[in-house]
């Protein structure tokens, strides 16, 4: 299982590096990799019921981060969707992006994304899940901005990363709180802690953070706007990320945590209201669009709203509806996106007001569009019909507000029917415009995937048994309660309220479609209202934040080094001074002075004299040399107190510092009096105060009883564990070797910084002269 | 900087100081010393040489830009850290030969790590000093 999940990352590297030399036929074959994963996941069908199968791999056990994967119903559905639709997208893209200069990058990102998504849905450990969660954000950032020469593309990928990545950070807080309260990061173990989590005072915060994470990823109102913007991505990416996989991650998370955190009034009310708002808002928004991808984007947001809404209701029926609807949506939406790609690819436009009559030239595509639109409309006997019925059954069974919720669901479905029909059917009916007469059917690599998905939508509707035993029951078990039996799915439920509502939806949807045509006028009308859109508000918020921070930065960091130094010292004086003022009792023992030897006295006197020279000298060279003397005196003190290692290092460093100073001084004017007397007074005051505070601090520190535990540990173990007698060196290279590694990396960065900054200056100077 | 005495002395001191820096590096595990100090001493040797003969001749003497030592040193340090993982031990576990070698003493991954530090320190110090010295011309 570990190999299956992580293989995508390996493939990403392979594609990224070796892909440059691969031919287009080779890219077609890459689709076999997700296909193999799909088949591998299919083998879990018989065993994924109940609690599922657990695969444990320890990663960082000391902080409870493990790569534990659990294959249960929910994870199975998602991993099959990810690998299955992934395989179709792999095949599709090999033709869609044929000859693209950066195809190897595209496949690299795509494999990375697929692997992160699989890791996300299979992880049982919340922290490793979070890692995969953020990886999906990052890889989708690459994919959305794939056409990185286009500024709009870059901007939309930045927005997507900011929203989903930011939401991910909030989720992290929620996860940490859950792990802290529940005592474990394992989802299965947290199931036993549900009472602790739900009754705790922090419950509100936990669900708040989890919600922000899930809503940002699953594009819930008001964080939805990144998804339509992300339609700048190549169409296969939109298909994969924005209909089938990534945007469902939030839904997945909520479904996954329902047994842990759900079934609580705040949880349910928030999800129902946010979900309902999102589904209605986005469904109505879809009516105002003419671009096929925009329509699909908004109808996706609306569908995600329905899913969140169903999780919020939280009844048996609604969770059953959820498990069916996730699959229904993935099938028809991926098909619609893929056919949009074909239409765009062949005709060069996605504007539905211009497209018509394409069935004459793109027959199989038109067929896929019709089937997908029918499933989307919930027309019997498609799989969509089943899904819609289950949704109505769920809303009708809510105790209070059932009529309101049902009405909202009906309105949403009418708008969604319209959207599906406009994208899936409208471009193919009517008279073919002359300009499109030369359009011809592309390679089967393009049209087979959407047709396959659309046919599956019909097949599952005709034979719901295919699905009910295999998936739905198991998902239901993993979300609702493991002990429940498997509910059966039937296409025909008899004449009842649900059927009536379904009929109302379909009929009024078609009437609506006939009456309302997508038009540019509607679209421009919406643009006038954009000042009230959440996108504008959030953009405004972050712009003001940027303005604020740039002002604030200008006040504190205006480019003079001595001013920075002053601010740092003042800050330290305030903090330390406050601490001394409030908490610390000064104890001063004059007997300490009696222990001073003559050497120490001489060294300190030497230091005093040099310091005065540094401060009052009128020549820079004198000051530098005097400072060197201070450093050397310090070395002598170290020697005297038995720290030869420290003394040696200090001695060499001091030498080099003086050399550096002398070199730098060459660049400065010979002598200039930069400061005036008031500034000097101010600086000396700050300097003296800081010195005084540090002295007090030092005195306080030596008053504290020494803790010898640490030094004793090192002294005892240096030779036993690291075979060294010099404890300082053993600590540096062995016990705390990673620190040293970090330090030499920092040194490297510093050297690179100096080298590049100064080199750059020299080169520009040369170029100018 | 044109003093004959300084130049003659520096030419003799350079090999001596370099030898001394290696000595400091090797004794680090048992007595005061180690890669960091050793590296600094070696840099001082080169800086002294540069003071006496000018940075250009030192750079010519070095043949390669001192910055090249940084990746080499980092590489050695990281390989020394990764090496124990071949034997299933965690990153940066010390592994040692059973018997001490003559002159050098005990050889283990920590020694190689220290050599890495040594090279990085020389590279960094000389890069910084030579770059700044270049601006003063």
Give the nearest partner residue to A652 out of B44, B70, B128, using CB atoms.
Answer: B44
Question: Judged by CB atoms within 8 Å, which residues 117-136 of B form the interface with A?
Answer: 117, 120-121, 123-125, 127-129, 131-136
Percent of chain A topping pLDDT 70: 91
Q: Do the domain assignments include residue A313?
A: yes
Mean pLDDT of chain A: 82
Give the nearest partner residue to B94 out of A660, A722, A751, using CB atoms.
Answer: A722
Residues A659 and A735 in one domain: no
For residue B104, the model assigns a pLDDT of: 67
Of the candidates A423, A228, A421, the one whose C-alpha atom is nearest the C-alpha of residue A339 is A423
Domain boundary among A518, A542, A572: A518
Mutate to test the interface with A, among B92, B93, B109, B115 (most CBs of A within 10 A): B92
Q: Where residue A490 falls among pLDDT bands split at 50, 70, 90?
A: low
Among chain A residues, the shortest Cα distance to B78 is held by A741
Residues of A in contact with B35 (CB under 8 A): 732-733
CB contact under 8 A, A744 and B120: yes
Asked which of A254-258, A458-462, A515-519, A753-757 is least confident by mean pLDDT, the reply is A515-519
Residues A307 and A388 in one domain: yes
CB contact B81 to A (< 8 Å):
yes
Query: Long-range contact list for A291-294, CB < 8 A, 24+ apart?
Result: A291/A231, A291/A350, A291/A351, A291/A352, A292/A340, A292/A343, A292/A344, A292/A350, A292/A351, A292/A352, A292/A355, A292/A422, A292/A423, A292/A427, A293/A231, A293/A235, A293/A238, A293/A337, A293/A340, A293/A350, A294/A228, A294/A231
Residues A696 and A648 in one domain: no
Give CA–CA dist A496/A488, Å, rounded. 18
- CB contact at 8 A, A340 and A282: no
Q: Do the domain assignments include residue A208?
A: no
A268-287 pLDDT, tens per residue? 888 888 988 888 888 888 88
A351 pairs with which residues across the strands? A291
Which residues lie closer than 8 Å to B9 by C-beta, 6 or more apart? Answer: B52
Q: Do the domain assignments include residue A634?
A: yes
Please provide the size of chain A in residues. 769
Q: Do the domain assignments include residue A145?
A: no
CB contact under 8 A, A660 and B91: no
For residue B57, the model assigns a pLDDT of: 84
Residues A437 and A574 in one domain: no
Residues A506 and A624 in one domain: no
Residues A285 and A358 in one domain: yes
Give CA–CA dist A47/A50, Å, rounded. 9
Q: Do the domain assignments include residue A397?
A: yes
A344-391 pLDDT, tens per residue? 888 877 887 777 777 777 888 888 888 888 888 888 778 888 888 888
Q: Which domain holds residue A760?
A: 721-768
Q: At A55, which helix (H) or strand (E)?
A: strand A53-55
Domain boundary among A518, A550, A572: A518
Among chain B residues, the shortest Cα distance to A646 is held by B32
Per the listing, tokens 């018509």 go with A356
CB contact under 8 A, B123 and A751: yes
For residue A316, the model assigns a pLDDT of: 78
Q: Do the domain assignments include residue A312?
A: yes
Residues A438 and A457 in one domain: yes
Residues of A in contact with B129 (CB under 8 A): 656, 659-660, 663
Residues A307 and A329 in one domain: yes
3-state secondary structure of A262: coil
| B54 min Cα distance to partner chain A (Å) | 13
* Residue A609 pLDDT exceeds 90: yes
For residue A671, the model assigns a pLDDT of: 59
- CB contact at 8 A, A164 and A217: yes
* Residue B119 pLDDT exceeds 90: yes
Q: Do the domain assignments include residue A247?
A: no
A432-476 pLDDT, tens per residue? 777 777 777 778 888 888 888 888 888 887 777 777 766 666 776
Residues of A in contact with B114 (CB under 8 A): 729, 732-733
Biggest CA pair distance of chain A: 107
Backbone angles phi, psi at A60, to 5 degrees: -125, 75
Per DSSP, the residues of A100-165 read: -TTHHHHHHHHHHHHHHHHHHHHB-BHHHHHHHHHHHHHHHHHHHT-STT-HHHHHHHHHHHHHHH
Among chain B residues, the shortest Cα distance to A734 is held by B110
Domain boundary among A486, A518, A550: A518
Domain total in chain A = 4
| B33 min Cα distance to partner chain A (Å) | 6
For residue A570, the model assigns a pLDDT of: 92
* Residue A80 pLDDT exceeds 90: no
pTM (2 decimals)? 0.73
Give CA–CA dist A7/A33, Å, rounded. 9
Mutate to test the interface with A, among B13, B24, B28 (most CBs of A within 10 A): B28
For residue A493, the model assigns a pLDDT of: 64
CB contact B66 to A (< 8 Å):
no
Q: At A325, which helix (H) or strand (E)?
A: helix A316-347
Question: Judged by CB atoms within 8 Å, which residues 4-23 of B form the interface with A?
Answer: none
For residue A488, the model assigns a pLDDT of: 58
Q: Do the domain assignments include residue A471?
A: yes
- CB contact at 8 A, A443 and A96: no
Higher confidence at residue A100 or residue A279? Answer: A279
Q: Residues of A near B (CB-CB distance < 8 A)?
A: 644-645, 648-649, 652-653, 655-656, 659-660, 663-664, 666-667, 721-726, 728-730, 732-734, 737-738, 740-741, 744-745, 747-748, 750-751, 754-755, 758-759, 761-762
CB contact under 8 A, A737 and B110: yes
Of the candidates B72, B35, B73, the one whose C-alpha atom is nearest the C-alpha of residue A733 is B35
As given in the structure block, the two tokens for residue B67 are: 């910055």
Q: At A7, which helix (H) or strand (E)?
A: helix A2-18
Backbone angles phi, psi at B93, to 5 degrees: -75, 140
- Tally the C-alpha atoms within 13 A of residue A732's C-alpha that lie toward its C-beta: 28
Which residues lie closer than 8 Å to A282 by C-beta, 6 or more apart? Answer: A221, A224, A298, A299, A301, A302, A305
Residues A577 and A652 in one domain: no
Higher confidence at residue A580 or residue A752? Answer: A752
* Residue A482 pLDDT exceeds 60: no
Asked which of A52-66, A548-562, A673-687 is least confident by mean pLDDT, the reply is A52-66
A115-172 pLDDT, tens per residue? 898 888 888 888 888 988 888 888 888 888 887 788 888 888 888 888 888 888 889 9
* Residue B120 pLDDT exceeds 90: yes
> What's the rounded mean pLDDT across residues B19-25?
89
Residues A582 and A630 in one domain: no
B66-87 pLDDT, tens per residue? 888 899 999 998 888 888 877 7
Residues of B in contact with A660 (CB under 8 A): 128-129, 132
Residues A335 and A476 in one domain: yes
> What's the rounded mean pLDDT across residues A407-420?
86
Residues A273 and A418 in one domain: yes
> What's the rounded mean pLDDT across residues A590-595?
72
For residue A630, the model assigns a pLDDT of: 92
* Residue A667 pLDDT exceeds 80: no
For residue B122, the model assigns a pLDDT of: 92
């Amino acid at each position: 299982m570990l190999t299956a999940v992580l293989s995508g990352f390996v493939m990403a590297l392979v594609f990224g590096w070796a892909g440059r030399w691969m031919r287009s036929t080779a890219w077609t074959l890459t689709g076999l990799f997700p296909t193999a994963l799909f088949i591998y996941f299919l083998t879990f069908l018989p065993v994924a019921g109940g609690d599922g199968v657990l695969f444990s791999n320890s990663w960082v056990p000391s902080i409870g981060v493990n790569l534990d994967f659990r294959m249960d119903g929910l994870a199975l559905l998602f991993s099959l969707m990810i690998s299955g639709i992934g395989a179709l997208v792999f095949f599709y893209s090999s033709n869609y992006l044929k000859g693209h200069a950066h195809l190897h990058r595209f496949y690299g990102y795509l494999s990375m994304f697929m692997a992160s998504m699989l890791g996300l849905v299979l992880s049982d450990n919340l922290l490793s899940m979070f890692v995969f969660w953020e990886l999906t954000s990052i890889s989708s950032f690459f994919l959305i901005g794939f056409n990185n020469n286009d500024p709009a593309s870059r901007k939309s990928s930045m927005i997507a990363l900011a929203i989903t990545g930011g939401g991910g950070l909030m989720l992290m807080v929620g996860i940490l709180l859950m792990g802290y309260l529940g005592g474990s990061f394992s989802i299965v173990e947290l199931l036993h802690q549900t009472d602790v989590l739900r009754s705790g005072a922090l419950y509100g915060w936990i669900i708040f953070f989890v919600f922000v994470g899930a809503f940002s990823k699953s594009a819930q109102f008001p964080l939805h706007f990144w998804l339509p913007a992300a339609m700048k991505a190549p169409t296969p990416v939109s298909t994969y990320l924005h209909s089938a996989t990534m945007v469902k991650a939030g839904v997945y998370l909520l479904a996954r945590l329902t047994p842990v955190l759900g079934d609580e009034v705040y949880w349910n009310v928030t999800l129902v209201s946010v979900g309902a708002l999102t589904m209605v808002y986005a469904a109505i928004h879809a009516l105002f669009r003419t671009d096929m991808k925009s329509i699909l984007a908004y109808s996706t947001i609306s569908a995600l709203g329905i899913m969140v809404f169903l999780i919020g209701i939280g009844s048996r029926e609604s969770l059953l509806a959820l498990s069916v609807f996730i699959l229904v949506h993935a099938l028809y939406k991926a098909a619609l996106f893929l056919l949009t790609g074909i239409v765009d690819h062949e005709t060069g436009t996605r504007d539905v007001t211009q497209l018509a009559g394409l069935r004459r030239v793109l027959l199989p595509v038109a067929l896929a569009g019709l089937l997908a639109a029918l499933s989307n409309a919930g027309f019997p006997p498609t799989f969509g019909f089943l899904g819609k019925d289950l949704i109505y059954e769920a809303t009708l069974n809510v105790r209070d507000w059932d009529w309101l919720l049902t009405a909202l669901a009906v309105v949403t479905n009418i708008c969604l029917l319209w959207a599906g029909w406009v994208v899936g059917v409208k471009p193919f009916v009517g008279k073919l415009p002359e300009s499109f007469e030369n359009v011809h059917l592309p390679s089967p690599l393009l049209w087979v995937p959407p047709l396959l998905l659309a046919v599956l939508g019909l097949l599952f509707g005709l034979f719901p048994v295919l699905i009910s035993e295999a998936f739905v029951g198991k998902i239901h078990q993993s979300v609702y309660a493991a002990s429940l039996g498997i509910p059966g799915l039937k296409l025909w439920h008899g004449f009842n309220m649900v059927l009536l509502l379904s009929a109302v939806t379909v009929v009024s949807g078609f009437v609506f479609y006939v009456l309302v045509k997508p038009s540019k006028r509607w679209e421009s009308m919406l643009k006038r209202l954009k000042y009230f859109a959440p996108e504008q508000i959030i953009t405004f918020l972050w712009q003001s934040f940027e303005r604020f921070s740039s002002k604030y930065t200008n006040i504190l960091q205006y480019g003079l080094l001595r001013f920075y130094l002053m601010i740092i010292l003042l800050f330290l004086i305030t903090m330390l001074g406050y601490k001394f003022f409030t908490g610390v009792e000064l104890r001063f023992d004059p007997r300490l002075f009696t222990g001073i030897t003559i050497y120490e006295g001489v060294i300190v006197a030497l230091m005093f004299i040099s310091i005065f020279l540094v401060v009052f000298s009128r020549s820079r060279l004198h000051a530098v040399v005097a400072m060197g003397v201070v450093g050397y005196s310090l070395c002598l003190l170290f020697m005297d107190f038995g720290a030869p290692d420290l003394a040696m290092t200090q001695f060499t460093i001091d030498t080099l510092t003086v050399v550096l100073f002398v070199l730098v001084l060459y660049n400065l004017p010979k002598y200039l009096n930069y400061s005036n007397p008031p500034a000097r007074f101010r600086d000396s005051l700050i300097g003296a105060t800081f010195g005084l505070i540090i002295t007090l601090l030092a005195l306080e520190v030596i008053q504290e009883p020494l803790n010898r535990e640490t030094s004793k540990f090192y002294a005892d173990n240096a030779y036993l564990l690291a075979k060294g007698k010099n404890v300082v060196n053993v600590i540096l290279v062995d016990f705390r070797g990673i620190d040293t590694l970090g330090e030499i990396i920092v040194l490297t960065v510093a050297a690179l910084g100096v080298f590049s900054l100064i080199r750059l200056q020299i080169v520009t100077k040369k170029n100018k002269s | 900087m044109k003093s004959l005495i300084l130049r003659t002395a520096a030419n003799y001191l350079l090999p001596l100081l370099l030898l001394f820096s290696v000595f400091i590096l090797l004794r680090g595990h048992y007595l005061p010393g180690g890669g960091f100090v050793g590296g600094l001493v070696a840099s001082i040797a080169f800086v002294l040489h540069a003071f006496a003969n000018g940075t250009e001749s030192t750079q010519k003497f070095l043949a390669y830009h001192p910055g090249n030592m940084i990746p080499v040193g980092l590489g050695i340090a990281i390989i020394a850290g990764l090496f124990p993982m071949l034997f299933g031990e965690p990153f940066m576990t010390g592994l040692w030969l059973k018997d001490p070698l003559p002159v050098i003493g005990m050889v283990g991954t920590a020694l190689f790590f220290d050599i890495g530090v040594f090279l990085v320190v020389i590279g960094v110090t000389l890069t910084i000093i030579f770059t700044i010295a270049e601006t003063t011309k």
